[in-house]
Amino acid sequence: MLDAISNFFQRALAEPEQRENRAITLELATAALLCEVMRADYDQSDAERTALKQMLTTRYHLSESEVTELMALAEAEVDDAVDHYQFVSLIKQHYGYEQRCELVVLMWQLAWADGSLDPLEEHRIRRLADLLHVSHSDFIRSKLASQPSV
């Protein structure tokens, strides 16, 4: 089963323009990067999983079952991925700068979902923001805007 999922994802990334619905591929790549943030501190809390589910539902207008499937696929891909290139390259190719900044905001919101920001989560977001070519000033701006008010 995992091989079938992996083969599907690899085909979709290799030839996104040949898929009827490219958004599915972008959704999966986005979910995978968000999963990377969630996993950065080695503690995937229920609050973070709930926040991720809500983010994906809201951003992509998916049903409960679609979000559950998307999260399972994304987690499987992250488990098997050697690096972030396959996810980041697809997002850079199809998302404009503002959309990439919005994704960084989602990363910060996910990192804060459990009530605290772990240095490992911050490091992972910084690394992903760099790979997505989001400027340092927008990285900081999104961090400050995403902090929960005390």
pLDDT tens for the chain, residues 1 to 150: 455 555 555 555 554 444 444 444 788 999 999 999 998 888 888 889 999 999 999 888 888 898 999 998 888 888 877 777 888 999 999 999 999 999 999 999 999 998 888 999 999 999 999 999 999 999 999 999 888 875
pTM of the predicted protein model:
0.79
Whether 22 and 94 have beta carbons less than 8 Å apart is answered as: yes
Question: What six digits make up the tokens of 5?
Answer: 């999922």
Question: What six digits make up the tokens of 37?
Answer: 């943030």
Cα separation, 68 vs 50, in Å, equals: 11
Return the pLDDT at 2: 52
In 3-state terms the chain splits into helix, strand, coil percentages (rounded to 5) of 75, 0, 25
Whether 86 and 13 have beta carbons less than 8 Å apart is answered as: yes
Give 61's contacts (C-beta < 8 A, 6+ positions apart): none
Whose structure tokens read 């994304």? Answer: 74
Return the pLDDT at 5: 53
Domain 2-146 has CATH 1.10.8.640: no
